Amino acid sequence: MLSSSAVHLNCFFMEVFSTLMAHQKQFTHRQHTVAQWHLRGFTNAEGKFFRYLQGKPVKWTCPKAECHESDFYEYDFHGRKSDNKFEHLLGQIENNAASRLPDLLNKVPLSQQGCKDWALYVASLFVRSRKYRAQISEPMIANLKAQTKERNYIADLQYTMFKKGELIAANELRRSTDEFVTNLEKNPAFYHVAGLQRHTASLAAALLQKSWHIVQAPQEKFFLMSDCPVSTADVANGSVLPGVGFGKEHALVFVPMTPRLVFIAAPRSFGGPAIAPHAFVDSLNLLTVQFAHTRVFAHVNMVSIKEFVDREIGLIVFGNNAFLAA
């Protein structure tokens, strides 16, 4: 069951959604998984940065060329089409968050609406990623398929339908079930995007229960950025456990904002320093690289970063060593 905060955020989602539908824009095929304004925070004066891929040369590139896929949030499932709805919705969330960014980075307290805007952005940034789809949504489709193949699945489904007053032949239920699962496999975007609003609202509600901090890197250090930039860790009793749910009591949520600044949502008892210790920056960069899907970004080209990325990228795998079911 959703919390009251999540329900309120769902209502806010619907208001935004209705507004967007009334002002439908031209269809956008090039769909970004990380806001371009966010990536621009890691560029130099020329508006470019360095992209690191495992086992490949470092590339001098720009935000517009990164973290995008064609029709990533589009689906055509059983006659239901997304028609750019989610691309426009995410764009509105990005725009709302961008308007809050100057105050946030300058540590000016946000209004209640400003906090909601920022929480929705951070939550959506996690849920909308390619890594989330590949490691959470798509495996769930595989699990669903396996469940439908279990010995008593059709018999149980037939009995459930019978109790609702519908008598359906077992072979017809098997045919329609197999067709449904096949269509899901052909349309992975549907399973991912259909839950995007609900999951974003739930995670945003968890973020609103935490204290927020902007922490600066010391002069000699800097933060890295990735294509899956929201990372989490449980810090308790002197130990650090990466990849925990946003709502966990001791969970910290990290989002690098610039090479100098990181956003942290933490337990209310967290007393984050204004300037991070060197060891904290190193630990967070390790977390950022391990949470990354395929890409890491930095404002500098360094052999040490390349070696770091080649060795550590993607080692945190959702559903394997992170975000495990309780």
Query: Does 297 lie in the same domain as 185?
Result: no
240 and 156 together in one domain:
no
What pTM was estimated for this model as a whole?
0.85
Q: Is residue 4 part of a domain?
A: no
Q: Give the count of beta carbons closer than 10 Å to the beta carbon of residue 159.
A: 10
Neighbours of 182 (CB within 10 A): 11
pLDDT value, residue 4: 55
Query: Do 274 and 243 belong together in one domain?
Result: yes
141 lies in some domain? yes
Do 149 and 188 belong together in one domain? Answer: yes
**Residues 323 and 216 reside in one and the same domain:** yes
* CA distance linking residue 28 with residue 86, whole number of Å: 11
Task: Give a yes or no: residue 52 inside a domain.
Answer: no
Same domain, 217 and 273: yes
Q: Are residues 308 and 220 in the same domain?
A: yes
Burial of 69 (0-12, 13-18, 19+ CB in 10 A): middle
Residue that is last in its domain, among 192, 224, 258: 192
> Bridge-partner residues for 214, per DSSP?
263
Verify that 185 and 238 share a domain, yes or no. Answer: no
The share of the chain scoring above pLDDT 70, in percent, equals 91
pLDDT score, position 68: 97
Same domain as 217, residue 268: yes
What pLDDT is attached to residue 22? 45
Q: Report d(CA 91, CA 94) in Å as an integer.
A: 5
Confidence at 186, pLDDT banded by 50, 70, 90: confident
Distances (CA, A) of 25 to 14, 21, 319: 18, 9, 37
Judge if 146 and 218 occupy the same domain. Answer: no
Rounded to a whole number, what is the distance in angstroms from the first to the last CA of the chain? 16
Q: Which residue has the tokens 């991070």?
A: 276
| Coil/strand/helix, residue 228 | coil
**Is the model's pLDDT at 264 over the cut of 60?**
yes
Residue 271 has a pLDDT of 80
Query: How confident is the model at residue 14, as a pLDDT?
Result: 52
At 33, which amino acid appears? T
Answer for the pair 235, 151: CB distance below 8 angstroms, yes or no. no
Question: In whole angstroms, how far apart are CA 322 and each of 86, 132, 232, 283?
Answer: 27, 12, 9, 17
* Domain span holding position 230: 209-326
198 within 8 A of 205, measured Cβ to Cβ: no
Mean pLDDT of the chain: 90
Please report whether residue 289 resides in a domain: yes
Yes or no: say if 201 and 2 are a contact pair by the CB < 8 Å rule: yes
Q: What percent of the residues of the chain are helix, what percent strand, and what percent coil, each to the nearest 5?
A: 50, 15, 35
d(Cα 271, Cα 213) in Å, to the nearest integer?
9
Instruction: Give the pLDDT band (50/70/90) at residue 7.
Output: low
Q: How many domains is the chain partitioned into structurally?
A: 2
Same domain, 161 and 216: no
The reply to whether 293 falls in a domain is: yes
On whether residue 232 sits in a domain, the answer given is yes
Q: 261 and 224 in one domain? A: yes
Q: What's the pLDDT score for residue 3? A: 58
- Where are the strands (E) in 139-230, listed by range? 211-216, 225-226
